Chain A
Amino acid sequence: MRTGHTVPTLTPAMIAIWVAFATVPLWIEKVGLYQYLGVEILIFATYALAYNLVLGHSGLPSFGHGAFFGLGAYGFGLAQLNLVPDLWFCLGAAVVVASAGGAIVAAFISHRRGIYYSLLTIAFGQVFWFIAIKSHAITGGEDGLLKIARLPVRLGVATFDLTHNISLFYFVLAVFVAVSLLLWRLVHSPFGRILKAIKQNETRARFVGYDVWRYKAAVLVLSAGLSGLAGGLFAMAQSSAFPDVMSLHYSGYIVMMTLVGGGLVTFWGPVLGAIVFLLARDVIGAFTTGWMLWFGLLFVALVIYKPEGLGGMFLRPARRKPAGAK
């Protein structure tokens, strides 16, 4: 960050992205895709942004984030089916349940870093996944939690129905706008900059007085909570919650999305990654059966040659200029 540089709350890129998303329902069917894909992309974009809070912004390579997404999905579903079928309450439940899961994991792993962090998050992710599969009575086991309703948005004066994919899209867009705004503020706040400092040099951060593990724990809980929010939206979109999203595969997919899009170098990278990932699934999937083969190879190529991801490719030349101009 530059000297005395304050970061505007709203940037042209941010508004352009929001507006571009807002137009999606107008043309998505005309290009041969379908409305629900837009919903899915926005949910995963939100999830990937939340995930990148740990990977890109704090340097914590979690490989078990699917657990938090899944906890949110189950939290939403269970709150709706057993407690109060109110949208705000259920989304709140999704966030609380996922944050609690994040807090448990954080308590065990916040003093770790690097590969150990990855391995332990895999272990915890598997624990949550396993519990979800085996607790038939609560989660419905592998059959999943079914009959989750798309609850209406109650805003006091007015109520909006979300059963149609287009109305759901705009609701999810509103959540995406809120989350991306919050995260944008966060990464440029003292908290966010301290996380970035810890990412670069944990030792030095301690020696200038930071309780490093507290920051690492806090950011994991926060990221888990927002991932859970995305999970809650996903449960609503799918009208169900399944253990799949908690598996190692799905936890890996979110890492793939984030990295492919360029989450390590740009704030919006994860959004690009989510778009590319889901489009690849549908478009490549339309031509061949094994879309993951091609996407996996793309991912491997990126890791080898361009770890900054697709977003990084566009950004690099622009970034070099100011340094060279000095």
Chain B
Amino acid sequence: MSIVGLLPHLVNGLALGLLFALLALGFMLILGLMEQINLAHGSLFALGAYFAYAIATPRLPLPPDMLQVWAAVPLGWRFTAAMFLAPVLVAPFGVVLERLMRRTYGRDPLYGLLLTFGMAMVIEELIRIVWGTRDYMLPVPRGISGGFMMLDLIWSTYRFWAAGFAIVAMAIVWLVIEHTRFGALVKAGAHDSEIVQALGHDLEKLRVWVFVLGTMMAAVAGVILAPIWGIRPHMGVDAVIPAFVIIVLGGVGSFWGAVLGGLLVGMVVGLSGAYASEWSMLSMYLLLILVVTFRSRGLFGKKSVLEA
């Protein structure tokens, strides 16, 4: 395959990788401060996608006349509303999850893993009850749908847009973490939660807010990825695994490790997809096993709860 022929796969991979990185960053924020693996992170991602679908198509539990009004609004507006509203609607799920997880703080992180696995199953089943088992597609507004020609190849506009959006979202997260008091507290807390308490800050509140932030990042990633992946009940599990692969690959506790891990996973999946599309997701695990065999803490990892 020529280099030009590989380009679309590379770009697709990059777009996927950026969205994975966004998802993984939320996962890592929670891991960093709470020292807990949140296997339900993917379920929050899935909820984001389903809520966006309900808002944009629209299939909301509203009185018929109100629904009609909303349905008359152009798709562009509905999609935009979904992008911002869905994460807000998913946030309370994150708060509930955090409340449940409180009991496991300070205990063997295995309990957090089990608890969130249980919650992932619960949320997935809830989704099946509410929306059934069939697949949905999230419609994309005309402005960012379709494709365009470049270098004699057809490119998907939406993927470019999604990649750009992911970059902006991560830039915001980066600014929040690096340049706000909240971010400083989160970083201090991830390093040593006692410091935060000693400084007179409410660690419990901080945990809730970090969970909300992580949840919303998952939900945003779900909304943006939905038109590419499709919406189905087990998309949560399909997504949480790349997220943890990225974190283990990039190294726990490193922002740039997660970004690089995401890009690496995206590109490996994208490029292997060019040669054997059937097997592309497998490459991600092989990459993980390869890296972790030789660098036990991932590319940029520090000593972390994972080694307990």
Contact = CB atoms under 8 A, between A and B. Distances in A.
Do any CB atoms of chain A lie under 8 A from CB atoms of chain B in the complex? Answer: yes
Interface of A: 61, 63, 108, 113-116, 118-120, 122-124, 126-127, 130-131, 134, 248-249, 252, 255-256, 259, 289-293, 295-297, 299-300, 303-305, 307
Interface in B91-127: 100, 103-104, 108-111, 113-115, 117-119, 121-122, 124-126
Contact of B282 (A61, A108, A134, A300): A134
B122 A115 contact: no
Interface stretch (B58-66, B215-223, B288-296): B288-296
B293 A108 contact: yes
Interface in B251-288: 278-279, 281-282, 285-286, 288
B285 A290 contact: no
Contacts of B285: 123-124, 126-127, 130
Contact of A252 (B109, B117, B307): B117
Contacts of B307: 113-114, 116
Given A114-B109, A297-B122, A303-B115, A123 B282 contact: no
B110 A118 contact: yes
A303 B306 CA distance: 20
A302 B119 CA distance: 12
Contacts of B122: 292-293, 296-297, 300
Contact of A292 (B103, B115, B121, B279): B121
B119 A119 contact: no
A127 B110 contact: no
A170 B259 CA distance: 55
B208 interface: no
Given A115-B109, A122-B241, A293-B129, A303 B104 contact: yes
B37 to A, nearest CB: 6
A290 B104 contact: no
Given A303-B114, A303-B115, A292 B125 contact: yes
B282 A249 contact: no
A131 B118 contact: no
Contact of A248 (B113, B129, B241, B286): B241
Contact of B292 (A63, A118, A120, A259): A120
B125 A296 contact: yes
Interface string B297-308: 000000001111
A213 B40 CA distance: 31
Given A115-B110, A290-B128, A300-B122, A122 B244 contact: yes
B288 to A, nearest CB: 5
Interface in B230-257: 234, 237, 241, 244-245, 248
Contacts of B289: 108, 120, 123-124, 127
Contacts of A134: 278-279, 282
A61 B278 CA distance: 30
A307 B111 contact: yes
Contacts of B129: 289-290, 293
Given A126-B285, A292-B122, A296-B119, A115 B37 contact: yes
A137 to B, nearest CB: 12
B126 A293 contact: yes
Contact of B125 (A118, A255, A290): A290
A303 to B, nearest CB: 5
Contact of B113 (A61, A126, A289, A290): A61
Q: DSSP class of B's interface residues: helix, strand, loop or mixed?
A: helix
Contacts of A126: 241, 285
A123 B245 contact: yes
A255 B114 contact: yes
A61 B307 CA distance: 13
23 contacts: A61-B113, A114-B110, A115-B37, A115-B109, A115-B110, A116-B248, A118-B37, A119-B244, A119-B248, A123-B288, A130-B282, A131-B282, A134-B282, A255-B117, A290-B126, A290-B128, A291-B125, A299-B118, A300-B122, A303-B118, A304-B104, A304-B115, A307-B111
Contact of A115 (B113, B125, B278, B279): B113
B113 A300 contact: no
Given A123-B288, A256-B118, A289 B103 contact: no
Contacts of B308: 113-115
Given A296-B125, A300-B122, 16 more contacts: A63-B117, A114-B108, A114-B110, A114-B306, A118-B110, A119-B37, A127-B289, A290-B128, A292-B121, A292-B124, A292-B125, A296-B121, A299-B114, A303-B111, A304-B100, A304-B103
A123 B288 CA distance: 8
Contacts of B104: 303-304
Contacts of A130: 279, 281-282, 285
B26 to A, nearest CB: 17
Contacts of A293: 122, 125-126, 129
B128 A289 contact: yes
Contacts of B245: 123
Contacts of A108: 289, 293
Contacts of A120: 289, 292
Contact of A300 (B109, B118, B286, B292): B118
Of B128, B282, B285, chain A has the most CB atoms within 10 Å of the CB of B285
B190 to A, nearest CB: 16
